[in-house]
Amino acid sequence: MNHNHPQNRNNRWRNLSLVLLSLLIVGGIVYMKQTSNAEKTWNSTPIHDTIYQQVAIPDTTLAPETVPAADTLLPYTLPDTVLGRDPRNPYEAGYEDGYAAGCDDGAVRTPNATYDESSSFRTASERQNYAKGYAEGYDKGYHDGENNRQFNIGN
């Protein structure tokens, strides 16, 4: 038996209309993109120039009687660190800082890349103790970093 299936006609019409609608949408998008070649920028009008010209510039000069004389200034020494003096023992501080730097360098196998034994300690003996601790800590940290044992964590 040969039956005419109305469902087939409906499906063909539905498919054809979906394809045509899709083509129409794509064509519309392409058309709108082609016709809108103008850049989307703000209109710069002369108003902007006149606004800046109308702003008053304050007079920031000081009268000589308000400025303190140069001989009244007191000398000021900066603290050892931003937060104040480092409370750690210089040797221990150097060891800790050196170990951390050594771990970083050892992990990437770049010897002395971040080696810096300078410190903010005031006296020469404190700076020497810091440098000694830094060197020892750096060597230990580099060895641990090379073996993936940073801060005794790892394998």
Could you tell me if residue 9 is inside a domain?
no
> Residue 16's pLDDT band (boundaries 50, 70, 90)?
very high
Could you tell me if residue 142 is inside a domain?
yes
Could you tell me if residue 48 is inside a domain?
no
One-letter amino acid for residue 110 of the chain: T
> Residue 24's pLDDT band (boundaries 50, 70, 90)?
very high
Could you tell me if residue 25 is inside a domain?
no
Could you tell me if residue 114 is inside a domain?
yes
Could you tell me if residue 105 is inside a domain?
yes
| pTM for this prediction | 0.45
At residue 36, the pLDDT reads 81
d(CA 103, CA 147): 10
Number of domains the chain contains: 1
| Ramachandran assignment for 2, one of left (phi > 0), alpha (psi -120 to 50 degrees), beta (any other) | beta
Residue ranges making up the domain that contains 97: 90-152
